[in-house]
Amino acid sequence: MAGKKSKTDVSARLGAKNLGKNCRLCGKAIDIVMSVTAKGKKSMRRICCGE
């Protein structure tokens, strides 16, 4: 079957993945860090623009 298109469109997935990497307010890259509370609970936080 010549010309058969792949079910997974890699370029579309890369475009969607790259949309969430920049800050919506300033446009800079977002740093993702793990913070731990005093009780030991872990959570992932996105840091940018002093938030």
Q: How far is the C-alpha of 25 from the C-alpha of 27, rounded, in Å? A: 6
Q: Are 44 and 33 in contact (CB under 8 A)?
A: yes
Domain range for 41 is 10-47
**pLDDT tens per residue across span 3-19:** 566 667 777 777 777 66
Residues 28-45 pLDDT 10s: 888 889 999 999 999 998
Contacts of 30 (CB under 8 A, 6+ apart): 21, 22, 23, 46, 47, 48
Counting the structural domains of the chain, the total is: 1
pLDDT of residue 2: 54
In a domain, 4, yes or no: no
pLDDT score at 7: 65
If you search the block for the tokens 């005093």, which residue do you land on?
38
Q: Tell me which residue has tokens 């079957």.
A: 1
Does residue 1 register a pLDDT over 60? Answer: no
